[in-house]
Amino acid sequence: MTHPAFPSTRTTCPYCGVGCGVLATPDGKGGLAIKGDPDHPANKGRLCVKGSALGETIGHEGRLLAPRIDGREADWDEALDLVAQRFSQTIAEHGPDSVAFYVSGQLLTEDYYVANKLMKGFIGSANIDTNSRLCMASSVAGHRRAFGSDTVPGLYEDLELADTVVLVGSNLAWCHPVLYQRIAAAKEARPEMRVVVIDPRRTATCDMADLHLAIAPGADAVLFNLLLAEIEARGLIRDPEATGLEAALAAARLAVPGETGLAPEDLARFLDLWLRSDKVVTVYSQGVNQSESGTDKVNAILNCHMATRRIGRPGMGPFSVTGQPNAMGGREVGGLANMLACHLDIENAAHRAAVQGFWGAPRMAERPGLKAVDMFRAVEDVRIKALWIICTNPAVSMPEADRVARAIAGCDFVVVSDMMAQTDTTRLAHVLLPATGWGEKDGTVTNSERRISRQRRLLPPVGRARDDWRILADVAGRMGWRDAFSWQHPSEVFAEHAALSGVAGALGSDFDISDHVGITREDYDVLRPFLWPQSAQKRGGRFFGDGRYHTPDGRARMVAVAARGPQPLDEAHPFRLNTGRVRDHWHTMTRTGLSPRLSRHLAEPFLELHPADAARLGLQAASLAEVESPHGKALLRVLITERVAPGHPFAPIHWSGETAPTGRIDALVQGVTDPVSGQPASKSAPVAIRPFAAAWYGFAVSRQPMKPDCDYWALARLPGGQQAELASGTTPEDWVAEAQTLFGIAAEPLVVRDRRRGITRLAFVVDGQLQAALFVSPEPVALSRSHVAAALGEACSPDLLAGRAGADRPDEGALVCACFGIGVNRILSAITAQDLVTVEAIGAALRAGTNCGSCRPELKALIAASSRIAAE
């Protein structure tokens, strides 16, 4: 129930690049009720499960409450003085390029703007880069090569207006769920609409695909070169004036169909679908961008749309969807090391002079700075001597994460601004600065369709946390530039950014929001979502429909793409590891990990492995696999599935030293980057896989935080406690002592042993209520997790230590519908008992899938699996 005294606030979801509008209503008890904003054009009231659970991720838990210097609490003045003094001293002694900022696509545009202004205009270096480098830098580079600007030409509604939607390397169902829902709804309304998914892995998104092309990893450019050659062969070139057309066609003619790994009939069907109708949208994301040839892949896609002039008109165009909520805002302010503010070019002297003049900047960066991977290499070899990491966790998320963590640990001076006290990166900081988070700060974000929306403050800052823009401005002031960083409110930063965009617009930049020059605080408070550009010359809408681009001659620029595959495998590392996201978690889980329901969908890191690979390696389902690359090792739960192809396992990216230290998957990923964009190739790590010789497996629940100390552990949040998956290669002598240490409980447990089967079960009961329990087995523990979790804090029934689900508590199995807590077992029995054959029928019977809709692809898959079983 919401409280009538607390009105709703319109704000924006802080997770993915869809940028959904949220209605947040304080409940009067410190919590928030969350609903989709029906008036926001991005989501029209929809939210996925991550957005729906935002209310569970607020509060004091785990927060960094005060500045800290070398581990001790400090006041703000002391901390800011120290940061300013150490940065100034380092710059004075070693020059501007001896310092760096590593920032984040989670920052608000105002924060990003201030960080960029400080580094590029006042420190005089371009050593500011962002975790968006890991996400969509190849799209930026591809756009700039083709269009002459980093412009997303289309709008979300094009996905609904298209006759054919092609999704390349994009698991929308899990990574951009509301866009998936919009396409699914459009397809339901127009069944003739076609959806093609191009992905080596059979993802949840394939559920709505008319055609799934399980392409050979890295072969996207070959496929789109084949398409371009076919465009020419069928006489469909509509832009013969495009620069580089002949060279692009010549390269395309060399494409070899066999390199795609696709059956000829599937390839022919794709070409036909793409070419048959004008209204085709090609959506792409990390599967294309995160590659050593990501920029070429992007340009291979753009070539096809530009050659056919299927761009910038309703229902057609290439569409890069960004992973992060404000990757686009970061691009707009020049948050990437190779860009200047407002889409101006750092290598263009006139652009630099314009920005310098506008800022009154004393020392303008004159060349691009270090991109993320190179930046941490420079930290490693001590070229960077002072580093400020803001709102991101590179010790987990950077490729070669162990090496990056060592580099940060070895840096002379490291500042980390973060909401959370304990992350793999905050542990390495000399100075920790507490930052406000979602719900506590005011600013703007830009989503993947160029729509700028407000994030609004609806809660007071936690502890002594401050806004990132203010922290940066306070340090800039202490470094001697108080006048240029003297804003009192984020609306003033936004107004300055808008004014600079007017200067940029006059120089020909696509990014121009100069309608908002001089915006007042009151107008900023009520600012409605709007598409950029918004200026006297141009507003909103699509780009390039008139065939004119932002290149010097206005012509499209085709790029000759010589398709290159991923790095070769070697004998010692014969598997190519694909990495990506899961449905209910975000980045390194510092926020989504706080929500019990988001932790129930997939509660530990895993390795998806094809059955043939599993058989060859002697790996059983739910056992543990050691995965090793030249850069690091992981221990992962084995999930045997035909979703992945033989030789191409998949593992998710979210787990960290805080939640599963052997699941830090980016420790395995090589720091190989695309030569144009500098984006790492995160989807093709060569790895070796072997069984882990576990002496025992364990599953534990506890009302108090646990302290596991064994070879493998993974923690997940429960309502009122935690659960842990455990395993080790050695068996402790005394299970009681082991459990007491794990739970921090001195009391004697109830113990049930089955010596013949090697099973031990222990339960700690205090005042008749279950405080903690540990289940140990020589095999992966076969037990209803949901039943055990539900028993926490309740009377300990004999069924619990017997490992049986209580008669009054049927086993839900793995959670499918996080909104209503409905597990796979309940859904399967309802499908069978009530003969349910549609997702809607499941919704009517159980409510599953009727709120956020994130589980609808899984419900569909369960219906399909049930009918397959029934047919057998």
- In 104-252, DSSP assigns E strands to 128-130, 164-168, 194-198, 211-213
Report in angstroms how near the CB of residue 53 gets to ligand SF4 at its nearest.
9
Interface region with ligand SF4, contact rule CB under 6 A, candidates 1-9, 170-178, 257-265, 343-351: 170-178
Residue number with CB closer to ligand SF4 (447 or 501): 447
Report in angstroms how near the CB of residue 674 gets to ligand SF4 at its nearest.
25
Residue number with CB closer to ligand SF4 (13 or 301): 13
Interface region with ligand SF4, contact rule CB under 6 A, candidates 12-20, 86-94, 405-413, 464-472: 12-20
Residue number with CB closer to ligand SF4 (14 or 671): 14
Residue number with CB closer to ligand SF4 (249 or 419): 419
Binder among 9, 10, 13, 207 for ligand SF4 (CB under 6 A): 13
Q: Is 706 in the site for ligand SF4 (CB under 6 A)?
A: no
Interface region with ligand SF4, contact rule CB under 6 A, candidates 41-49, 198-206, 329-337, 612-620: 41-49
Q: What angle do CA 363, 365, 368 make, to 5 degrees?
A: 175
Amino acid present at 579: T
Report in angstroms how near the CB of residue 197 gets to ligand SF4 at its nearest.
18
Report in angstroms how near the CB of residue 43 gets to ligand SF4 at its nearest.
6
Size of the site for ligand SF4 (CB under 6 A): 14
> What does the alpha-carbon distance between residue 352 and residue 239 come to, in Å, rounded to a whole number?
33
Q: Are 638 and 607 in contact (CB under 8 A)?
A: yes
Report the Cα 574 to chain-centroid distance in Å.
Answer: 27
3-state SS track over 521-582: HHHHHCCCCEECCECCCCECCCCCCCCCCCCCCCCCECCCCCCCCCCCCECCECEEEEEECC
CA nearest neighbour of 321 among 530, 478, 139, 70: 139
Residue number with CB closer to ligand SF4 (48 or 414): 48
> What does the alpha-carbon distance between residue 469 and residue 466 come to, in Å, rounded to a whole number?
9
Report in angstroms how near the CB of residue 852 gets to ligand SF4 at its nearest.
8
Residue number with CB closer to ligand SF4 (50 or 351): 50
Residue number with CB closer to ligand SF4 (34 or 776): 34
| Burial of 238: CB neighbours in 10 Å, binned 0-12, 13-18, 19+ | middle
Residue number with CB closer to ligand SF4 (762 or 815): 815
What character string, x for contact with ligand SF4 (CB under 6 A) and - otherwise, covers 421-450? ------------------------------
Residue number with CB closer to ligand SF4 (172 or 407): 172
> What does the alpha-carbon distance between residue 721 and residue 600 come to, in Å, rounded to a whole number?
13
Interface region with ligand SF4, contact rule CB under 6 A, candidates 43-51, 271-279, 295-303, 739-747: 43-51
Amino acid present at 448: S
> What does the alpha-carbon distance between residue 600 and residue 598 come to, in Å, rounded to a whole number?
6
Measured CA distances, 522 to 470, 513, 781, 822 (Å):
20, 18, 58, 44
Report in angstroms how near the CB of residue 8 gets to ligand SF4 at its nearest.
16
Residue number with CB closer to ligand SF4 (178 or 428): 178
> What does the alpha-carbon distance between residue 469 and residue 593 come to, in Å, rounded to a whole number?
26
Amino acid present at 208: M
Report in angstroms how near the CB of residue 180 gets to ligand SF4 at its nearest.
8
Interface region with ligand SF4, contact rule CB under 6 A, candidates 17-25, 141-149, 286-294, 603-611: 17-25
Binder among 177, 505, 533, 657 for ligand SF4 (CB under 6 A): 177
Residue number with CB closer to ligand SF4 (15 or 388): 15
Interface region with ligand SF4, contact rule CB under 6 A, candidates 108-116, 162-170, 172-180, 246-254: 172-180
The residues that bridge with 702 in the sheet, in sequence order, are: 722, 772
Residue number with CB closer to ligand SF4 (48 or 558): 48
CA nearest neighbour of 507 among 653, 348, 651, 381: 348
Residue number with CB closer to ligand SF4 (15 or 696): 15
Q: Is 100 in the site for ligand SF4 (CB under 6 A)?
A: no
Put the strands of the sheet holding 451-455 in their side by side order. Answer: 443-446, 451-455, 530-531
Report in angstroms how near the CB of residue 19 gets to ligand SF4 at its nearest.
6
Q: Is 16 in the site for ligand SF4 (CB under 6 A)?
A: yes
Residue number with CB closer to ligand SF4 (135 or 251): 135
Report in angstroms how near the CB of residue 576 gets to ligand SF4 at its nearest.
28
Q: Is 47 in the site for ligand SF4 (CB under 6 A)?
A: yes
Binder among 19, 369, 394, 813 for ligand SF4 (CB under 6 A): 19
Q: Is 178 in the site for ligand SF4 (CB under 6 A)?
A: yes
Report in angstroms how near the CB of residue 18 gets to ligand SF4 at its nearest.
4
CA nearest neighbour of 150 among 370, 404, 355, 341: 341
**At 394, is the secondary structure helix, strand, or coil?**
helix
What character string, x for contact with ligand SF4 (CB under 6 A) and - otherwise, covers 618-637? --------------------
The residues that bridge with 455 in the sheet, in sequence order, are: 443
> What does the alpha-carbon distance between residue 128 and residue 100 come to, in Å, rounded to a whole number?
6
> What does the alpha-carbon distance between residue 868 and residue 396 come to, in Å, rounded to a whole number?
40
Binder among 50, 63, 309, 313 for ligand SF4 (CB under 6 A): 50
Measured CA distances, 96 to 42, 86, 767, 798 (Å):
41, 12, 63, 67
Q: Which helix (H) or strand (E) holds 651?
A: strand 650-652
Residue number with CB closer to ligand SF4 (42 or 503): 42
Binder among 9, 10, 11, 15 for ligand SF4 (CB under 6 A): 15
Count of beta carbons in the 10 Å neighbourhood of residue 802: 10
Q: Is 48 in the site for ligand SF4 (CB under 6 A)?
A: yes
Q: Provide CB contacts within 8 A for 484, sequence distance 6+.
A: 117, 121, 122, 359, 360, 361, 476
Residue nearest to ligand SF4 (CB): 51
What character string, x for contact with ligand SF4 (CB under 6 A) and - otherwise, covers 641-670? ------------------------------
Report in angstroms how near the CB of residue 48 gets to ligand SF4 at its nearest.
3
Residue number with CB closer to ligand SF4 (260 or 448): 448
> What does the alpha-carbon distance between residue 129 and residue 118 come to, in Å, rounded to a whole number?
13
Q: Is 159 in the site for ligand SF4 (CB under 6 A)?
A: no
Interface region with ligand SF4, contact rule CB under 6 A, candidates 42-50, 354-362, 696-704, 743-751: 42-50
The residues that bridge with 177 in the sheet, in sequence order, are: none
Interface region with ligand SF4, contact rule CB under 6 A, candidates 11-19, 124-132, 185-193, 651-659: 11-19
Question: Pairing relation of β-strands 750-754 and 685-691?
Answer: unpaired
**At 299, is the secondary structure helix, strand, or coil?**
helix
Report in angstroms how near the CB of residue 85 gets to ligand SF4 at its nearest.
40
Report in angstroms how near the CB of residue 11 gets to ligand SF4 at its nearest.
11
> What does the alpha-carbon distance between residue 513 and residue 509 come to, in Å, rounded to a whole number?
11
**At 243, is the secondary structure helix, strand, or coil?**
strand
| CA dihedral over 569, 292, 268, 281, signed as positive or negative | positive
Binder among 10, 20, 273, 292 for ligand SF4 (CB under 6 A): 20
Report in angstroms how near the CB of residue 787 gets to ligand SF4 at its nearest.
30
- How is residue 783 written in tokens? 């037990």
Q: Give the residues lining the site for ligand SF4 (CB under 6 A).
A: 13, 15-16, 18-20, 43, 47-48, 50-51, 176-178
